[in-house]
Structure 1
Amino acid sequence: MREQGRVAPVLLAAGSDPTAVARTFIACGLAADVTLPASADVAAAMRRYDQLWATRTPSAVVVRGDNLAAGLAAYWRRVPVMHMDAGRRSGSLVADDADGDRRLLTQAATVHLAPAPLAAMNLLDERVVAGDVLLTGGTAVEAARLMAERFPTRAKGNRVVVAGIKTGSEHDQPVREAMLALTARRPELDVFGGLALPYPERSRLIAAAEVVVTDDADLAEEALAAGTPVLVPGDGGGLTEAIHAGCAHPVDPEAGAILAAVADLLESRVRRDSMSVIGSPYGDGLAAARIAQATAALLGHGQFPEPMPARPEAGVSH
């Protein structure tokens, strides 16, 4: 947005740990313009956002993923909402609480910025007006490049495996068991819990990793943007595009199966490279520019961008 010069962005750090968010901004060479106190739940967060929108009303609010509080507070203030990563669906409102928030946020959004074609189709299936949906891709590709420039990949050492399972996930225990067995059998490996690390260090580890095991869509998207193969315990709900493309593989959520799948990839450079070369189906490195241009266009400054081009199907030449 700052580079395009059409609108003046105000960067906000909020959520359950706004200090961590602010640190992530700093790692990206940015500084938060506003920091809200930590909120324990959606209701408390909505009150804080509403107070902010009342005293410093924005022309539009750009929210990402499942940030329901910011979106609803803007909606009730009649402020347009640009929803990044719109249309992601895990398919389970029980196992994934965030899925419900994403669906509710869809009802409040003005423009839906979809990260992948399937996400856009989900929105259309839910009766979102086609003209309000824009296929932008996700910004993880740009973030991965930025982190690679600012924080070079860790020096060569032990081989790296990163595992990150969502809090409360049914896959947590089998993945833990598999990683413990892996480190016992392969002492030359370094195994890290990706979701517990600060963003810059996590980015460096993901870029250095040979395999990432996760059921977290954000962590998986970061790994795919860095060209790291991903194994997804379970049915891969929110990562259908990556599994279809072949850059991520589903694995039975059982410790033995996870251990075998990781060992198989570690033993075969060809298999890892065949997954890495596909790249990420969630962005082409131009998502941030499209989102900035779309936000400006909504506010009357220029035209909406062209959507992200569709990726050719594997094995089909054009």
Structure 2
Amino acid sequence: MDGRRILTIFGTRPEAIKLFPLIHLLDRDDRFESCVCVSAQHRGMLDQVLDIAGIEPHHDLDLMTDGQSLDELTARALTGIGRVLDREKPDWVVVQGDTTTVLAGALAAYYRKIAVCHVEAGLRSGDIYQPWPEEVNRRTVGTFAKLHCAPTQTSADALLRENIAPASVHVTGNTVIDALKWVTQQIDDRPELAAGLSDLEQRFAAKRIIGVTSHRRENFGEGMQGIAKAIRRLASRGDVAFIFPVHLNPNVRAVMNAELEGLDNVALIEPLDYPHFAKLLDISHIMLTDSGGVQEEAPALGKPVLVMRETTERPEGVAAGTARLVGTDAETIVRETERLLDDPAAYAAMARAHNPFGDGNSAQRICDLLAHAS
């Protein structure tokens, strides 16, 4: 008997990172015929992950164009993915998270009455504009997905409060921990994969490194200005250095370059591929971020996370003590960062807190659910 035909759809670097452990398992499992479609919502950064993970998509829509609006992207993704679905006729579509690709992929499947498995289901901030548009994307998919793979019990409870059928909700852990374990093993076996940070490690050897990522749409403008000013003030300390892979979006680059370029202990660098980003997490003392994934990844390596957002759809980290919300006010970011730098007990409390996001076996749980779901 032929295996279940699974079409996995994704388009951004974070989706690729969180889905490649599952794709690896699907490819090796006789219970499935696995097919991959990418929208290339993040072209360059997506390709880096595909390369290191050894994944060759069966379909590459290459949808991005300069200045494309969200509605244009959504329309092109919906029709492009629809054509792929009509050709492949899968039994299940797998999507992950909350991007425009996720919304379009799941919606195209729903229009054809194809079952949808939503990986990392149930995350909720409670504010439809933070993160924007991701909060509405994932809420929408949650209304019609057939299999909800919640990373934590908190996420599962959020789905149950929305009257999702309990039998369709499963706590699987987050596949990002599977991916991080895989890539750190790859780096151990082949150190050259992350050797590109060696010069910065040597340059900042006498300082505590603070890693930074920032790209959220809701922080464009005043929020980015606050983040940049906080980093500039903190950089006046002699005992710290910043490594900041600056997002390609000009709303981020213009602000950070204007405020931070030329500071001796601030390295504004190009976006990192996945092995180098894992290495940055490993060598950092603290992570400052407005990213979702970093809130999950950094605690797995014992690194405190200060979340430069007003809300988070990952409250488990805040509750567990691995992350703290600090917003984008410069005063608050400086105060909370210096608290961790100057108070060893406060730092240890966050660094040693239990990471609630998974044990590295999430992809296998999802694989088994797909094999048995009716």
Alignment TM-score, normalising by the size of structure 1: 0.86
Q: Identity of aligned pairs, percent?
A: 26
What are the superposed Cα offsets for residues 145-189 of structure 1, whole Å, 9 maximum, x if unpaired? 112122357555323212223332333221111112222333751
Change (3 A) 1:289 1:55: same
Which of 160, 166, 170 is the aligned partner of 2:215? 166
Match of residue 324 from structure 2: 249
Which of 227, 242, 252 is the aligned partner of 1:190? 242
- Is 1:48 aligned to 2:100, yes or no? no
Change (3 A) 1:276 1:161: same
Which of 206, 219, 223 is the aligned partner of 2:294? 219
Alignment of 1:176-187 (within 5 A): 176-186=228-238
Match of residue 107 from structure 1: 143
Structure 1 position 285, deviation (Å):
1.2
AA of the residue aligned to 1:144: L
Which of 14, 38, 41 is the aligned partner of 1:13? 38
Which of 165, 171, 179 is the aligned partner of 1:129? 165
Distance (Å, rounded) in 2 between the aligned partners of 1:194 and 1:274: 29
Match of residue 265 from structure 1: 340
Alignment of 1:92-103 (within 5 A): 92-96=127-131, 97-103=133-139
- Is 1:71 aligned to 2:106, yes or no? yes
Note if contact 1:141-1:226 (Cα within 8 Å) is conserved in structure 2: no
AA of the residue aligned to 1:32: P
Structure 1 position 249, deviation (Å):
1.6
Structure 1 position 133, deviation (Å):
0.4
Note if contact 2:93-2:109 (Cα within 8 Å) is conserved in structure 1: yes
Structure 1 residue ranges without an equivalent (≥5): 300-318
Match of residue 177 from structure 2: 141
AA of the residue aligned to 1:16: Q
Structure 1 stretch displaced more, 285-294 or 182-191: 182-191
Note if contact 1:147-1:204 (Cα within 8 Å) is conserved in structure 2: no
SS at match of 2:118: strand
Note if contact 2:178-2:361 (Cα within 8 Å) is conserved in structure 1: yes
Structure 1 position 209, deviation (Å):
1.1
| RMSD, matched Cα | 2.1
What are the superposed Cα offsets for residues 90-127 of structure 1, whole Å, 9 maximum, x if unpaired? 11112322100111111221111101111111111111
SS at match of 2:128: coil
- For these two proteins, the number of residue pairs brought into alignment is 299
Structure 2 residue ranges without an equivalent (≥5): 1-25, 189-193, 248-270
SS at match of 1:112: strand
Distance (Å, rounded) in 1 between the aligned partners of 2:50 and 2:354: 25
Change (3 A) 1:83 1:136: same
AA of the residue aligned to 2:177: V
Structure 1 stretch displaced more, 91-100 or 110-119: 91-100
Match of residue 37 from structure 1: 62
Alignment TM-score, normalising by the size of structure 2: 0.74
Distance (Å, rounded) in 2 between the aligned partners of 1:116 and 1:26: 29
Distance (Å, rounded) in 2 between the aligned partners of 1:165 and 1:18: 19
Distance (Å, rounded) in 2 between the aligned partners of 1:70 and 1:141: 24
Alignment of 1:197-212 (within 5 A): 197-212=272-287
Structure 1 position 19, deviation (Å):
4.5
SS at match of 1:151: helix
What are the superposed Cα offsets for residues 190-238 of structure 1, whole Å, 9 maximum, x if unpaired? 3314754333322211121111112321222222233221012344421
Change (3 A) 1:92 1:205: same
Distance (Å, rounded) in 2 between the aligned partners of 1:87 and 1:14: 23
Structure 1 stretch displaced more, 71-80 or 29-38: 29-38
